[in-house]
Amino acid sequence: MLCVLRNRTYRHLFIAQVIALVGTGLATVALGLLAYDIAGADAGSVLGTALAIKMVAYVAIAPVIGAIADRLPRRALMVGADLVRAAVALMLPFVDQVWQVYVLIFLLQSASAAFTPTFQAVIPDVLPAERDYTRALSLSRLAYDLESLFSPALAAVLLSLVTYNWLFLGTVAGFLASAALVVSAVLPKPVAAAVSRTGGAYAKATAGTRLFFARPELRALLVLNLAVAAASAMVTVNSVVYVRDQFGRGAADLSLALGAFGGGSMVVALLLPRLLERVSDRSVMLRGVQLLTVVFAGLGVITAAGSGGRRWTALLLAWAAFGAGCSMVLTPAGRLIRRAAPPEERTAAFAAQFSLSHGCWLLTYPLAGWLGAVTGMRSAVAALGSIALVSALLAARLWPSQAPGPVEHEHNDLHDGHPHLVDAARVQGGWRHRHHHLPDGLHAHR
C-alpha cells in the first residue's frame, strides 16, 4: 500500500492532508475548552450549535466550490483554503463571545469545504492507475481513523505542558505546513481538457448533484451514505451514554470504545486494496451496509439486556464492526465517482459527495441525540437501524448487479509516457491494459 508514496506529488499531498487533520483534531479539543471558558455549563449547547454550523457550511459551500472550481487553479484553491483556515485558527484564542465562535467556525469549515473536494478530485489525476488510486483511498481512510486516535492523545500531552490556547497555534502551524506542501507539489494537468459548463449559477452549483442522480451506482451511493451516517451518528453521539450511563464505566473507557470503532475501520482499509482486485465495488459496499444492519440488530439486544461484563465486550465488538462496515462503504466510494465523472466534472462530483454525505450526518446526528435523550436508547437504535436497513434494500435495488466490469482493451493513439498508460503493457502497435470504463474521452469507441 505504501508504494504509492513513492510518487512525490502524492506524497506531498498526503502529508499535507495528515498534518491538516492533526491540526483540526487539536482545534476540536481546544474549542471544547474555549466553549467552557465562555459559556460554562452551557458549553455543550455551544458545541452542539458549532457542529450544526459545521455541517451547514459543508452542505452549502461545497456545491458552490464545485461550480467555480473549473475557473480556478487547483493548487491556488487548496492553498487559499489552508491560509483561510490558518487565519481563523489564529483568531480563535482571542474570542470572548459565543457569536464570534459561530462566525469563525463557519469560516473555518467553509474553507474545509473548499479544500477537501478539490484535494479528492486531484488524486485521480496524480495516480491514474486504478490499483494505485485504490491504495490512496485506503491510506486516506487510515489517515482519518488514525487522526481520531492520535489527535486527542497529542492534545492531552500538550495540555500537560501548556494552556489550550497553544493548541490553536498548533492548528495554525498545521494548516501553514499543509499549504507549503501543496505549493511544493507539481500538480498534473487534467487528463482531458476542461469543458466549461453552460447554464446559470444554479445549474453549475447543482451539476455534481445531477450527476449523482443520473448514474445508478451514484444513486446507490447516496443511500449508502445515509446508512453510514446512521451508524457513525450512533457511535459519535451515544458512545458516552453507553459508557457512562448504561455501563457505569470511567471516562477512559470512552476512548477505548471510540478506538474500537477506528480500529475496525483501519483493519478494513488495510485489507481492501487487495480485496478490490478480486471483488467488485458493488459487492464490497453492499456487504458493508448489510453488516451495519446486522450490527444494529445486535446493538438492540445489547441495549435491552441486563447488566454484565459481557455486554461491555459485546459493545466494543459492535463498535469495531460498525467501523468495519463504514469503511467498506466509504473507502471504495472515490472509485465510483472517478469512473462516473469526466475529468472536468470531478471536482463538482466530489463536492456533491462531500455535501450530500454531510447532509446525511446533519439529519442523523441530532436524531441520534434527541431520540436517545427523550425516548431512550432502544428507540434510537431502532430508528437508526431502520434507516440502515431501508438504505441497504434501496442500494441493492438502485445498483444493478449486471453493472459492467473491467474491460481489456488496447490504445494505439496515445504517446509513450501518457498518464493513462501507467499500468499498461506494451504490445505490438500500442498498449494493452484492463480497467472499468472511464468517461475521460479516451475510450469513446471501446
pLDDT digits (tens, 9 = 90+) for 308-350: 668 889 999 999 999 999 999 999 998 988 888 877 778 888 8
Outline where 127-251 has alpha helix (H). 130-159, 165-184, 201-205, 207-214, 216-240
Answer yes or no: is pLDDT of 177 > 90: yes
- Selected from 1.10.3720.10, 2.40.170.20, 1.20.1250.20, 3.40.50.450, the CATH number assigned to the domain covering 204-399 reads 1.20.1250.20
Closest to 74 in 3D by CA, of 12, 120, 143? 120
Look up the CATH architecture of domain 1-137+150-189.
Up-down Bundle (1.20)
* pLDDT of the residue at 383: 95
In this structure, what are the phi and psi dihedrals at residue 200, rounded to the nearest 5 degrees?
A: -80, -175
Other C-beta atoms lying within 10 Å of the C-beta of residue 277? 11
Domains 1-137+150-189 and 204-399 share a fold: yes
| DSSP labels, 328-370 | HHHTTHHHHHHHHS-GGGHHHHHHHHHHHHHHHHHHHHHHHHH
DSSP-derived secondary structure letter, 244: I
**Of the spans 12-21, 66-75, 285-294, 405-414, which averages the highest pLDDT?**
285-294
Residue 446: pLDDT band (50, 70, 90) is very low
Kindly state the average pLDDT of the residues 253-261.
83
Cβ–Cβ under 8 Å, residues 139 and 1? yes
Answer yes or no: is pLDDT of 443 > 60: no
Task: Please give the mean pLDDT across all residues of the chain.
Answer: 83
Q: Cell numbers of 213, please? A: 442522480
26-65 confidence digits (pLDDT tens): 887 788 778 778 877 676 667 667 878 888 888 888 888 7
Return the domain boundaries, the chain. Answer: 1-137+150-189, 204-399
419-440 confidence digits (pLDDT tens): 555 566 666 666 666 655 555 5
Q: Cell numbers of 372, please? A: 436517545
Q: Which residue has the higher pLDDT, 177 or 141?
A: 177
Lowest mean pLDDT among 9-13, 111-115, 208-212: 208-212
Rounded-to-integer distance, Cα 64 and Cα 194, Å: 18
215-242 confidence digits (pLDDT tens): 888 899 999 999 999 999 898 888 888 8
Q: What is the pTM of this model?
A: 0.78
